[in-house]
Structure 1
Amino acid sequence: MNLPATGRRVLVSGASRGLGRAVARAFAENGDRVAVHYGSRADEARATFASLSGSGHALVQGDLADATGAEEVANAAADALGGIDVLVNNAAIMQRHPLPETPYEEWVATWRDHVAVNLLATANLSHLAARRMIHQGGGGRIVNIGSRGAFRGEPDHPAYAATKAAVHALGQSLAVSLAPHGIAVASVAPGFFTTERVAPRLTGAEGEAIRTQSPFGRVGTPEEIAAAVLWLSSPAAEWSSGTILDLNGASHLRT
């Protein structure tokens, strides 16, 4: 298939800050045009948009927890960019809910929210983008942001770990079904990396314990994760379709 190395049309969900911002910047620096999706963080999304190199980018707002909202986001991105060649499913929520101390009503609501955003939004955007890629011809790429927690467990965030495991499985299923159309699908499974959300946890004794999980004695950076996403989206990475790439500094080794 004739997927280009640059000048692609890229939709990054949840790109207002953190990893999404780093991914959007990496694609823009590569010469691609990026649709920066955000849910409610308008000011941060505008800051991401303003920081992108190149031109032809777009801001797209929408609630991915709603199937209609996801469709509106995909349509708006495609209209603004003239199509979609690459989808990065980054949008996710992570709310603390350890079972021993979480009331049942809160437990049910938390699981519902995680499934809606982390799993169903990923599935819906993947459908919408892939069908567009098929219609366009020329192939495409889908990269899902999973998590190390899908393999090692997250006792304080079980719904997050479970939905990320489902995202990994979804990516592998789509890799098989979309290969005949020249669409490669892969996932990354990051460990701890620095973002605004986890910054408070990286101070004091907890931060030291987190850093010592890796033999490198540190956590990752959003830019390191973004570099892997950019490569998995490249023409050279087609044969990596179906992979789940661990990005955790050897803090968790799967067998």
Structure 2
Amino acid sequence: MLNFNFSGKNVLITGASRGIGKAVATAFAQAGARVALHYHQQTKAAERVHQSLVGEGHILVQADLANPVAVEQMVNQAIAQLGHIDVLVNNAGIYQEHPLKEISYEDWQATWQQTISVNLLGAVNVSYCVAQQMIERHNGRIINVTSRGAFKGEPRATAYAASKAGLNAFSQSLALHLAPHNIFVTAVAPGWVATDMSQAILESPAGEAIRQQSPLNRVANPQEVAHTILFLASEGAEMLTGAILDVNGASYLRS
């Protein structure tokens, strides 16, 4: 069994107030890391996560990831308080349904703009700001949380699927660019995960069909995604740079 040890490491996690981000923060803290928990509007939820973490030195940082200026300020704050960032986990994202034949042109444009601004450009800009100091230190890990939807498609949320596909391509391109600087970039593409956001649909009549998409007859829990992320951030996983790991219980297979 792998023994993750991140003592002395500093980790910045975006979207850490709930769901996968919360599980990732909890796992890194339990493994000895100091964690910077990013949030946007969920102040109380982020504070509860912060208070629940074992260890000392964890911090909260706030920013609207759709705002490039706020992103730079948030990263600078995290670096100022922690000293440096060893691991970046770009987890924050939004999901909005906007089926083409049911939505106005104006709402279509607005949803696409917001989704791309947060899910893709937000992660791109956080990566830029964090990578600058990683290059200076000649060390770092960047792990992007994408989605099965980037491969399978999201007919009612086309912007979401496109944003995650873009993040996959960005991850691979960045892995090539940063490898000479001893910085390793990977992506994790979960399928359905049992979080607060998915609870309603998983408990609805549609939930059983969703679980049956996997031969395991269940969806992932956030801790399983977190475990994969810690593995990618751990020593010995360097040769996985550029990889996109599916965490979907064989609900969607690709080769």
Which amino acid letter does the alignment assign opposite residue 179 of structure 2?
A
CA distance in structure 1 between the aligned counterparts of 2:204 and 2:194, rounded to whole angstroms: 15
Aligned runs of 1:120-199 on 2, under 5 Å?
120-137=121-138, 139-199=139-199
Residue 187 of structure 2: SS of its match in structure 1?
strand
Residue identity in the other structure for 2:196 = E
Q: Report the Cα distance in structure 2 between the residues aligned to 1:33 and 1:64, rounded to whole angstroms.
A: 22
What residue is the counterpart of 2:230 in the other structure? 230
The C-alpha deviation readout for 1:164-206, integer Å capped at 9, x for no partner, is: 0000000000000000010000000000010101100002320
Confirm or deny: 8 A CA contact 2:146 2:188 kept in the other structure.
Answer: yes
Per the TM alignment, residue 135 of structure 1 is displaced from its structure 2 partner at its CA by: 1.2
Distance 2:211 2:108 in 1: 30
Supply the AA of the counterpart residue of 1:195: T
Q: Distance in 2 between matches of 1:19 and 1:204?
A: 21
Q: What letter is aligned with 2:80?
A: D
Structure 1: how far apart are the matches of 2:48 and 2:39?
12
| SS at 1:40 equivalent | coil
* C-alpha contact 2:20 2:225 (8 A) present in aligned 1: yes
The answer on whether the counterparts of 1:71 and 1:128 sit within 8 Å (CA) in structure 2 is: yes
Deviations 1:40-69 (A, max 9, x none): 100000011011111110000111110001
Give the whole-Å Cα distance in 1 for the aligned partners of 2:152 and 2:101.
Answer: 19
> What do the CA deviations read for 1:97-151 (whole angstroms, capped 9, x no partner)?
11110111100000000110000011101111111111123x1000000000000
The TM-score with structure 2 as length reference comes to 0.97
Q: Which runs of 5+ in 1 are unaligned?
A: none
5 Å matches for 1:4-153?
5-137=6-138, 139-153=139-153
Residue 6 of structure 1 deviates from its aligned partner by 3.0
Structure 2 unaligned regions, length at least 5: none
CA distance in 1, matches of 2:204, 2:152: 24
* Alpha-carbon contact 1:5-1:235 (below 8 Å) kept: no
AA of the residue aligned to 1:64: L
Q: Distance in 1 between matches of 2:45 and 2:51?
A: 10
The TM-score with structure 1 as length reference comes to 0.97
- How many corresponding residue pairs? 251
Partner Cα distance (1:253, 1:206) in 2? 22
In structure 2, C-alpha distance between the alignment counterparts of 1:145 and 1:204, rounded to whole Å: 26
Task: State the Cα RMSD in Å.
Answer: 0.9
Q: Kindly provide the CA deviation profile for residues 81-106 of structure 1, in whole angstroms up to 9, marking residues without a partner as x.
A: 11111100001110111111011110
Match status 1:220 vs 2:193? no
Deviations 1:207-238 (A, max 9, x none): 00100000000000000000000110112111
How far has the Cα of 1:7 moved from its partner?
1.9
Secondary structure of the structure 1 residue equivalent to 2:60: strand
Asked whether the equivalents of residues 189 and 245 of structure 2 are also in contact (C-alpha less than 8 Å), the reply is yes
Matched to 2:61, the amino acid is V
Counterparts of 2:103 and 2:195 in 1: how far apart (Å)? 26
- Post-superposition offset of 1:5: 4.3
Q: Percent identity between the aligned chains?
A: 52
* Distance in 2 (alpha carbons) for counterparts of 1:191 and 1:200: 16
SS state of the match for residue 143, structure 1? strand
